[in-house]
C-alpha cells in the first residue's frame, strides 16, 4: 500500500473526519487562479435522453491532455472538488471537462432512469464520445465518490481495452464497497447530517421523475424513506435493473473487481472518511499490480483541507487535486 504519493496532514484546528469533510465543502478556498468558467454542451444519449457536459474555458494547447472528472452523488461542476480540479487543470495547461450524470445539471433528464454507483455503461459512452471529439488529446479520468466507484467498475469491465480509451484513472473517496458505505451513512451523526442533505436533493428529483413517468414507483413509500437504503430500494435499484438495494450495492461495487483492472488506476481514501469505513477499504492483495492505493489517516470525505497563509485560514482544497492530477499525468 502506498502512502507516499499524498502525504496529507490535516490542519490542527480541524480534528476528525466530519470537520475535515464539512469545512472543505462549506468554507474552503477552491481556486488560486480566476474562478473557472464553463461552456456547456448538451449530448444526446443513445437511449434518446441527454446529459450536460461542462468544459472549462481556460486555454490549453491543442495536443494537451484532457482530464475528465466524474462527480459524486448529487454533485456537479459547481462542487468544491470540481472547481479545485478545474483550477489544477488551468494551472497545468490541461483541457478539463465535467460530464453531469443524468438529472444533475440543473435540468431533469427525460428517461425513466437517473444514475447510479455502478453506471459503467454510461461512463463508457461518455469516454468514447470524449475520445472521438478530442482525437489529438490523451485522456485521463478521475471520479469522486460515486463517480469514482463507477469509473473503477468501468475500468474493471473493460480490462485490457480500457487503455484504448484512457491512459489512467483515479477514484477519490469512493465507497468501493457500497454496502459498507451505505450502512455507515445511515447511522448516527451521518444520518442526521449527510443522509438528510442527500435526501433533501434526491427525493424532490424523484418526485419530478414520477410526474414525468406516472406509476414509476410508490410515491408514499418514497416519501417515507429515511435513509439511502430505503431510497435505493424504491428508486435507484428498480429503475436501473437491480432487484433491490442489496443486489444493487453488491453488483455495483467496484471492490470485488479491482483485480481485473489493466490500466494504471489510483484509489485514494482517507482512513477517517465518515462515509467509507476504513475496514471496508481494499488491501494491496485484493487489487492487483495496476492499482495504486493511497490511504492517508486524515482527510475526511473529499475534504483534505490545507492551512493557508500565516494564520492558517481560511484553508484551501487544492492539495488533493494537485496530488491526484500529477499522478495521472505521470502515466501519459
pLDDT in tens, 28-69: 889 999 999 999 999 999 999 999 999 999 999 999 999 999
Nine cell digits for residue 89: 487543470
Architecture of domain 17-176+254-329: 3-Layer(aba) Sandwich (3.40)
The pLDDT score that the predictor gives to residue 13 is: 87
CA atoms of 138 and 165, how far apart (whole Å): 9
Would you kindly state where each structural domain of the chain is located, as residue ranges?
Answer: 17-176+254-329, 178-252
**Binned average pLDDT, 10 residues per bin, the chain of 332 residues:** 70 93 91 95 98 97 97 97 98 98 98 97 98 96 98 98 97 98 95 95 97 97 97 98 98 98 98 97 96 97 84 77 97 96
Q: Is residue 273 among the annotated active site residues?
A: yes
The pLDDT score that the predictor gives to residue 27 is: 87
DSSP letter assigned to residue 139: E
Which one is catalytic: 77, 79, 105, 145?
A: 145
The pLDDT score that the predictor gives to residue 310 is: 56
What burial class does residue 232 get, using C-beta atoms within 10 Å of its C-beta: 0-12 exposed, 13-18 middle, 19+ buried?
buried
Backbone angles phi, psi at 142, to 5 degrees: -130, 150
Strand arrangement of the beta sheet that strand 168-172 belongs to: 38-44, 50-56, 95-99, 66-70, 139-144, 168-172, 265-268, 291-294
- Give pLDDT tens digits for 201-215: 999 999 999 999 999
The pLDDT score that the predictor gives to residue 273 is: 98
Q: Is residue 49 among the annotated active site residues?
A: no
Which one is catalytic: 31, 301, 308, 316?
A: 301
The pLDDT score that the predictor gives to residue 315 is: 77
Which one is catalytic: 273, 280, 308, 316?
A: 273
Q: Is residue 48 among the annotated active site residues?
A: no
CA atoms of 146 and 173, how far apart (whole Å): 9
Name 196's Cβ contacts closer than 8 Å, sequence gap at least 6: none
The pLDDT score that the predictor gives to residue 3 is: 43
CA atoms of 206 and 108, how far apart (whole Å): 10
Amino acid at each position: 500500500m502506498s502512502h507516499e504519493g499524498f502525504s496529507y496532514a490535516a490542519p490542527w484546528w480541524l480534528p476528525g473526519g466530519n470537520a475535515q469533510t464539512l469545512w472543505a465543502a462549506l468554507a474552503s478556498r477552491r481556486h488560486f487562479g480566476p474562478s473557472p468558467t464553463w461552456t456547456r454542451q448538451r449530448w444526446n444519449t443513445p437511449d434518446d435522453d441527454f446529459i450536460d457536459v461542462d468544459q472549462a474555458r481556460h486555454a490549453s494547447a491543442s495536443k494537451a491532455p484532457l482530464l475528465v472528472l466524474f462527480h459524486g452523488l448529487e454533485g456537479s461542476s459547481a462542487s468544491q472538488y470540481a472547481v479545485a480540479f478545474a483550477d489544477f487543470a488551468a494551472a497545468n495547461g490541461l483541457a478539463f471537462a465535467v460530464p453531469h450524470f443524468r438529472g444533475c445539471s440543473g435540468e431533469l433528464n427525460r428517461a425513466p432512469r437517473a444514475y447510479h454507483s455502478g453506471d459503467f455503461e454510461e461512463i463508457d459512452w461518455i469516454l468514447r464520445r470524449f475520445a472521438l471529439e478530442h482525437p489529438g488529446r490523451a485522456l485521463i479520468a478521475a471520479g469522486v465518490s460515486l463517480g469514482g466507484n463507477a469509473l473503477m467498475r468501468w475500468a474493471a469491465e473493460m480490462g485490457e481495452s480500457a487503455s484504448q480509451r484512457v491512459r489512467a484513472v483515479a477514484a477519490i473517496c469512493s465507497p468501493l464497497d457500497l454496502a459498507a458505505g451505505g450502512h455507515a451513512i445511515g447511522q448516527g451523526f451521518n444520518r442526521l447530517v449527510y443522509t438528510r442533505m442527500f435526501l433533501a436533493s434526491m427525493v424532490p428529483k424523484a418526485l419530478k421523475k414520477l410526474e414525468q413517468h406516472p406509476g414509476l414507483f410508490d410515491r408514499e413509500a418514497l416519501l417515507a424513506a429515511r435513509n439511502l437504503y430505503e431510497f435505493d430500494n424504491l428508486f435507484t435499484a428498480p429503475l436501473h435493473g437491480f432487484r433491490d438495494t442489496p443486489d444493487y450495492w453488491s453488483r455495483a461495487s467496484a471492490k470485488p473487481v479491482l483485480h481485473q483492472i489493466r490500466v494504471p488506476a489510483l484509489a485514494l481514501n482517507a482512513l477517517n472518511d465518515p462515509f467509507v469505513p476504513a475496514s471496508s477499504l481494499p488491501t494491496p492483495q485484493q487489487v492487483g499490480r495496476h492499482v495504486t492505493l493511497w490511504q492517508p489517516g486524515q482527510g475526511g470525505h473529499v475534504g483534505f483541507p490545507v492551512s493557508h497563509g500565516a494564520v492558517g485560514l481560511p484553508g484551501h482544497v487544492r492539495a488533493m487535486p494537485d496530488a491526484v492530477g500529477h499522478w495521472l499525468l505521470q502515466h501519459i
